[in-house]
């Protein structure tokens, strides 16, 4: 579905949104849109395949694929391949955990909160450094 949502946005619409106040709030610009499109045109297969292994990205990678008019056949192939591998790993991990599944889940719940906290701290630091102009200078 997100592939088709992405395909609704042509270059003109996307650049218009990127230039708007809301688009700028999200850190978008026509230059970044062009750079992203260029990257996806060069690395779409790799991005689609490996994107299926990363939470959130596995869904959102569909948007630039649709926006850049990446071949639906190629998109479907790399999506199915990446998803099949990821799901196979998860199935075997669950089978390996077996009856210890609840214990494994409890261990990961504690670790996931720490990872989330670290991610939030890093994101806040990057935001503040960017705002002060210390990183990502134009």
Query: Is 128 inside a domain boundary?
Result: no
Q: How many CB atoms lie within 10 A of CB 75?
A: 19
- Average pLDDT of the chain? 83
109-125 pLDDT per residue, tens = 777 778 778 888 988 88
The residue to which tokens 């990872």 are assigned: 115
DSSP 92-115: HHHHHHGGGHHHHHHHHHHHHHHH
Query: Is 6 inside a domain boundary?
Result: yes
> Taking the complete model, does pTM exceed 0.75, yes or no?
no
Query: Is 126 inside a domain boundary?
Result: no
Q: Is the pLDDT of residue 135 over 80?
A: no
Number of domains in the chain: 1
Domain that residue 59 falls in: 2-97
pLDDT at residue 137, as a whole number: 62
Query: Is 40 inside a domain boundary?
Result: yes
82-118 pLDDT per residue, tens = 999 988 988 888 888 777 877 877 777 777 778 778 8
């Amino acid at each position: 579905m997100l592939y088709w949502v992405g395909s609704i946005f042509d270059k003109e619409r996307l650049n218009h949104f990127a230039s708007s106040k809301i688009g700028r709030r999200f850190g978008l610009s026509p230059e970044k849109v062009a750079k992203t499109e260029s990257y996806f045109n060069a690395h779409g297969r790799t991005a689609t395949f490996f994107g299926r292994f990363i939470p959130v990205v596995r869904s959102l990678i569909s948007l630039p694929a649709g926006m850049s008019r990446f071949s639906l056949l190629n998109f479907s192939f790399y999506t199915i391949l990446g998803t099949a591998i990821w799901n196979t790993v998860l199935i075997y991990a669950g089978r390996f955990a077996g009856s210890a599944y609840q214990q494994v889940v409890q261990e990961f719940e504690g670790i996931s909160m720490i990872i989330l906290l670290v991610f939030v701290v890093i994101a806040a630091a990057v935001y503040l450094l960017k705002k002060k102009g210390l990183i990502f200078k134009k």
